[in-house]
Chains A and B, each alone.
Chain A
Amino acid sequence: MEAPAGSMVVYLLLSCFVATSYGVYFSSLNETLIVTATHAKDQALKAGEEQITVTWRFNQTYKAGTDSSYKMVKVKLCYAPISQKDRSWRKTEDRLKKDKTCPHKIVARPYAASNNSFTWTIEKDIPTGVYFVRAYALNAQDQEVAYGQTTNGAKSTNLFNVQAITGRHVSLDIASVCFSAFSVVSLAGFFYMEKRKGKASQQK
């Protein structure tokens, strides 16, 4: 019977080996972090205005020493399956290098086992969609070795909505409409000028 710690070390060594050869696979990571995200209201959060508070800590039910290789934590905003549907540019891939589930960075912090908290104002370039939060623990070689997320394995619970900014401004709207109208009006002017030229040459 091997001691659990021993098998854990072997496993970690193996995953490091795998990581250096092929890149890290998500399925090889353990969910050793507990992550929570709280927000002020239950409706869609407005990008650029509202905030979420993210906390993360090491799950003490795992053997102590499991987190010895964790050096850094990267917290990311991730798409829920419904926001990935028919959008292959947000596809989930097991190989983390190719995975596009979590493109938006919230914060990166040195690893601490507990007492981690960050309040993040949702950035203006976050698109409208349904999201959850995931934190990756990285080792000294900047490779993912563990993770934690606010939702379950099927990514169906505890999701929240974000409403993007439109990017429109009143000045843009006005400029658009004015220039469009100007184009059409100047065309009418052209036709009028052309008719006058025609009449003039007839009189010659």
Chain B
Amino acid sequence: MEISQNSDTNYRKFVLPVDSEHKATEFRLFSIATPHMRAFHLSWISFFSCFVSTFAAPPLLPIIRDNLDLTATDIGNAGIAAVSGAVFARVAMGTACDLFGPRLASSSLILLTAPAVYLSAIANSPSAFLMVRFFTGFSLATFVSTQFWMSSMFSPNVVGTANGLSGGWGNLGGGATQLIMPLVYSLIHDNIGSTKFTAWRIAFFIPAFFQTLSAYAIFFLGQDMPDGNYVRLEKSGEKHKDSFSQVFYHAITNYRGWILALTYGYCFGVELTIDNIIAQYFYDRFNVNLHTAGIIAASFGLANLFSRPGGGILSDLVAKRFGMRGRLWTLWVVQMIGGLLCLLLGKIGSLSGSVAVMLVFSVFVQAACGLTFGVVPFVSRRSLGVISGMTGGGGNVGAVLTQVIFFRGSRYSTEEGISLMGVMIMCCTLVILFIYFPQWGGLFCGPKKGVTEEDYYLAEWTAAEKEQGFHKMSIKFSENSRRERGKKGASVPVLSDKDTPPTIV
């Protein structure tokens, strides 16, 4: 064993079993062991707080719209603004994770967007309302740091589970806020006795505090990688500081990233759109009261407790037997069914039928989100962050597009819009057919003979970079991702380059 300057990391004991990159190969939900499970809990809690803040306004709109004299157009625009900011923020966040590490990147973003939530309390006009919702929405980019962090801490065999649970439990915030904010508001209004127009303002301090605290927790308790933080690993030479242009280039030239960005827009984007319009839909079409409509809206978001993680777990389960091809097939099937259920939702005329279809629809569409992030960690190793950011950003683009095309103005009734959105989901999901990994295959084609995981991941580094040994993490990842061949491919002998120096490819 070589003796290095930081020998303590080589002999370090981890609570969970780890692979050669020190990523955990097991996922233990009720543990808070450093660094793996602690990172998990920090990431889902902080992402949850960002979702609570971003969707804190909708449940209080009946009061806010009277206070700020909002029209339906103002409210619609603010809803679109809330999800559009994150489109670019997510790509930027992906880059920041690749360059600075998820711990700094996410705590920075959370602290920079907390002022927008604090300042919501002093908004005084429709344009101020739009601005605070727009900037608060940037915080949804923490999704990317969550997925990146999980992909850095957990091995390929559990990465789908880790990603699904952290993403799903974060998304839960969008449903929980529909219950939390009215509760906080009534505590302030009834118990403390503030007037309506003051009580909602004070209520916004709660998600703002929660957000600030979670950023502090990440900074002081979190760690970028199993072996330490980027800053220390880079200065000691264990991790090389990558170049932005290279990282960005390898992300945008990988067509799989663009395909997943598009399809994510039609599972996650649809989820965000539904979060914004479903309460009104039930209120208007079925004449339930606002309180009931709010509970129905909340239940859509709360399904994330098990449906998105379920998608991630399913992805890992299917990969055990069928590898990456299994992950892709399952994603395609689940998202297609989601589209079909969306089409059906708009056609049903009874209240109980609608609620039932909506609940099943929520499970499928959220599971598709979890399944998408079972595939994303494998698209690129070098540019994991930017790919995650592109996919995440694509999700928000989908939300903006569907709201603008189907749910703005009076071109379509809400039920027509929902059905048409279902059709669009199915059409856009077809592009998954085009994803092909030469080392593992695609939906219809098997892998190319003789192509290895190393060929795919090391192609992201130039010969000069390889000579300097910058690509070490990609070698380790290639070995660890051999499971993606599934049971059939595992029997194929693989040339191991453990005995050969890294410069020979």
Whether B67 lies near A88 (C-beta < 8 A) is no
Q: Is the CB of B71 within 8 A of A86?
A: yes
The answer to whether A197 touches B195, judged by C-beta atoms less than 8 angstroms apart, is no
Q: Does B285 contact A (CB under 8 A)?
A: no
A61 within 8 A of partner (CB): no
User: C-beta contact mask, A189-203 vs B, less than 8 Å → 1, else 0?
Assistant: 011001101110110
A142 at interface by CB-CB < 8 Å: no
CB atoms of A87 and B72 under 8 A apart? yes
Q: A172-B121, A177-B119, A184-B111 are in contact. List 18 more A-B contacts (CB 8 A).
A: A98-B287, A125-B66, A125-B195, A129-B69, A164-B67, A165-B195, A168-B198, A175-B118, A176-B119, A180-B114, A180-B118, A183-B112, A183-B212, A186-B216, A195-B231, A197-B229, A201-B231, A202-B235
Q: Report how far A85 CA is from B70 CA in the complex, Å.
A: 11
* Also in contact, A202 and B236, with CB within 8 A (given A167-B67, A167-B195, A187-B108): yes
Q: How far is the CA of A104 from the CA of B112 in the complex (A)?
A: 41
**13 contacts across the A-B interface (CB closer than 8 A):** A124-B196, A125-B197, A165-B195, A168-B122, A168-B124, A177-B118, A179-B115, A179-B212, A180-B118, A183-B118, A183-B212, A187-B111, A197-B229
Chain B 214-243 near chain A by CB (<8 Å), digits 1 or 0:
011001000000000101101110000000
**Chain B residues whose C-beta falls within 8 Å of the C-beta of A28 in the assembled complex:** none
A180 in complex: contacting residue of B69, B104, B115, B195, CB < 8 Å:
B115
Task: Give which listed residue, B5, B71, B114, B231, contacts A197 with CB less than 8 A.
Answer: B231
Q: A172-B201, A197-B232 are in contact. Are A184 and B115 (CB under 8 A)?
A: yes
Contact of A179 among B118, B196, B235 (CB under 8 A): B118
Task: Contact check, B71 vs A176: say whether CB atoms are below 8 A apart.
Answer: no
- Let me know if B60 is at the binding interface, CB within 8 A: no
B197 touches A166 (CB 8 A): yes
Tell me the complex Cα distance, A180–B132, Å.
Answer: 13
- Within the complex, what minimum Cβ distance (angstroms) separates B428 from chain A? 31
Instruction: Check A125–B196 contact: CB distance below 8 A.
Output: yes
Smallest Cβ distance from A176 to chain B, in angstroms? 5
Q: Which are the 3 A-B pairs with shortest beta-carbon distances?
A: A167-B197, A180-B115, A127-B66
Q: How far is the CA of A98 from the CA of B287 in the complex (A)?
A: 9
Are B235 and A201 in touch, CB under 8 angstroms?
yes
List the interface of chain A (C-beta within 8 A of B): 85-89, 98, 124-125, 127-129, 164-169, 172-173, 175-177, 179-181, 183-184, 186-187, 190-191, 194-195, 197-199, 201-202, 204
Decide if B197 touches A124 in the complex (CB within 8 Å): yes
CA of A9 to CA of B60 in the docked complex: distance in angstroms?
Answer: 47
Q: Which residue of B lies closest to A174 (CB)?
A: B122
Residue of A nearest to B198 (CB): A167
Asked if residues B104 and A194 are in contact (CB atoms below 8 Å), the reply is yes
Give min CB distance, B410 to chain A, whole Å: 11
Q: Is the CB of B118 within 8 A of A176?
A: yes
A interface footprint on B176-207 (CB within 8 Å = 1, 0 otherwise): 00000000000000000001111011100100
Residues from chain B with Cβ under 8 Å of A168 in the complex: 122, 124, 198, 201
Size band of the B side of the interface? 35 or more
Q: Kindly state the separation between the CA atoms of A63 and B94 in the bound complex, as whole angstroms.
A: 78
Shortest Cβ gap from A95 to chain B (Å) = 11
The CA-CA distance from A167 to B185 in the complex, in Å, is 14
* Neighbouring A residues of B118 by C-beta, 8 Å: 175-177, 179-180, 183
Q: Residues of A contacting B73 with CB < 8 Å?
A: 86
**Residues of A close to B43: CB separation below 8 A:** none
Q: Quick one: closest A residue to B6, CB to CB?
A: A204
Q: Which residues of B contact A127 (CB under 8 A)?
A: 66-67, 69
Instruction: Please give, as numbers and ranges, the residues of chain A lying within 8 Å of B276 by CB-CB distance.
Output: none
A180 to B117, CA, bound (A): 9
Contact between chains at B232 and A166 (CB < 8 Å): no
Please tell me if the beta carbons of B219 and A190 are within 8 angstroms of each other in the complex. yes
Per-position contact with A for B58-83: 1 when CB-CB < 8 Å, else 0?
A: 00001001110101110000000000
Select the residue from B66, B208, B215 with max chain A CB neighbours within 10 A.
B66
Q: Which of A98, A181, A187 has the largest count of B CB atoms less than 10 A from its CB?
A: A187
Cβ of B107 under 8 Å from chain A: yes
Report the nearest A residue to B70, measured CB to CB.
Answer: A87
For the complex, give the distance between the alpha carbons of A77 and B192 in Å. 27
Whose C-beta in chain A lies nearest to the C-beta of B123?
A168
A179→B215 CA distance, assembly (Å): 14
What is the minimal beta-carbon distance from B291 to any residue of chain A, in angstroms? 14
Which residues from chain B contact A86 at a C-beta distance below 8 Å?
71-73
Q: Which residues of B contact A190 (CB under 8 A)?
A: 104, 107-108, 111, 219
> In the complex, are the beta carbons of B124 and A89 less than 8 A apart?
no
How many whole Å from A138's CB to the nearest CB in chain B? Answer: 23
User: Which one, A172, A194, A199, contacts B122 given CB within 8 A?
Assistant: A172
Q: Answer whether A128 and B69 are a contact pair too, CB < 8 Å, given A165-B197, A202-B236.
A: yes
Chain B residues near A194 (CB, 8 Å)? Answer: 104, 229, 231
Please indicate the chain A residues that have their CB under 8 angstroms from the CB of B208 in the complex: 179
Docked complex Cα distance between A74 and B195 (Å): 24
Instruction: Given A87-B71, A172-B198, A180-B114, answer yes or no on A164-B66 (Cβ-Cβ < 8 Å).
Output: yes
When chains A and B are docked, how far (Å) is the Cα of A191 from the Cα of B100? 11
How far does the alpha carbon of A181 sit from the alpha carbon of B287 in the complex, in Å? 45
Complex alpha-carbon distance, A54 and B111, angstroms: 52
Which A residues lie within 8 Å of B236 (CB)?
201-202, 204
Please give, as numbers and ranges, the residues of chain A lying within 8 Å of B197 by CB-CB distance.
124-125, 164-167
Asked, given contacts A167-B201, A168-B201, whether A183 binds B219 with beta carbons under 8 Å apart, the answer is no
Query: Chain A residue with minimal CB distance to B121?
Result: A176
Q: How far is the CB of A180 from chain B (nearest CB, A)?
A: 3
What's the nearest-Cβ distance from chain A to residue B215, in Å? 8
Q: Is the CB of B65 within 8 A of A89?
A: yes
Tell me, in angstroms, the Cα distance from A195 to B229 when the chains sit together: 12
Chain A hits for B215, CB < 8 A: 183
- Distance of A164 Cα from B118 Cα, bound (Å): 22
Q: How far is it, in angstroms, between the C-alpha of A184 and the C-alpha of B109 when the chains are bound? A: 10
Residues of A within 8 Å of B200, CB to CB, are 167
With both beta carbons as reference points, the residue of chain A lying nearest to B287 in the complex is identified as A98
- Report Cα–Cα, A87/B195, bound state, in Å: 23
Contacts of B66 in A (CB 8 A): 125, 127, 164
| Chain B residue at minimal CB-CB distance from A178 | B118
CB distance from B127 to the nearest CB of A (A): 15
Give the docked Cα–Cα distance between A125 and B6 (Å).
Answer: 64
A160 smallest CB distance to B (angstroms): 16
**Which residues 95-141 of B sit at the A interface, judged by CB distance below 8 A?**
104, 107-108, 111-112, 114-115, 118-119, 121-122, 124
Partner pick for B235 among A98, A187, A198, CB 8 A cutoff: A198
